[in-house]
Amino acid sequence: MCEINAGPGAEPLHWRLITSHEIATVDDAWRIVEWYKQRWIIEQFFRVLKTQGLKLEDSQIGTADRLLKLVTIAAKAAVITIQLLQARDGGQQPIRVAFNDNEINALAALNRQLEARSKRLKNPHPPDSLTWAAWIIGRLGGWDGYPSSKPPGPIIFKNGLEYFLAVAAGWSLRDMCMP
């Protein structure tokens, strides 16, 4: 595969995908390309887990059992972050794949607050979609919310999710204390 728009004076890049799978047809080749395209999602997942995200490699945990528990918790947060990233790009997942009822209620309250700051700035997505939650969590992570701005990336979503989970924990406590 060759780069189409390399720019003036630049030599086009030429990509070759090497595989151990048998390629007998063009469809076989495109299937391998589709598999390889998933690699970017994996890279983003590890980016969220590691240096630019949750900094899992900086952990001072000394036992395998405790490290496994930490990795499990971090992996759940990283998966939700990637789900939000995919929802941002038009994924059609329902909100309940990532959030429970209490968290959805907290998201609704946060959405009302975020929308109230500007008459022009409204969450354009249906409230039962993960895309709706991605808009809110992106805003909490520092994204301005305007369609003309650069869309939020995985680190913005990671930051927004951390903030949101703290708010949701407080929301849950509020509900426990109410008669």
Structure tokens at 131: 């895309």
Chain center to CA of 81:
3
For 59-76, the pLDDT digits (tens) are 888 888 988 898 888 898
Q: Which residue has the tokens 């939700």?
A: 80
What confidence score (pLDDT) does residue 179 get? 62
DSSP at 94: B
Which three-class secondary structure state does DSSP give residue 2?
Answer: strand
Do the Cβ atoms of 12 and 4 come closer than 8 Å? yes
Q: Which residues pair with 14 in a beta bridge?
A: 2
Do the Cβ atoms of 124 and 107 come closer than 8 Å? no
What percent of the chain is modeled with pLDDT above 90? 38
Q: Distances in Å between the alpha carbon of 35 and those of 22, 41, 128?
A: 14, 11, 30
> In this predicted structure, which of 59-63, 107-111, 115-119 has the lowest mean pLDDT?
115-119
Which three-class secondary structure state does DSSP give residue 129?
Answer: strand
What confidence score (pLDDT) does residue 131 get? 95
Confidence of residue 31 (pLDDT cuts 50, 70, 90): very high
Q: Distances in Å between the alpha carbon of 178 and those of 125, 168, 171, 173?
A: 31, 15, 11, 9
User: Given a cut of 90, is residue 106 above it in pLDDT?
Assistant: yes
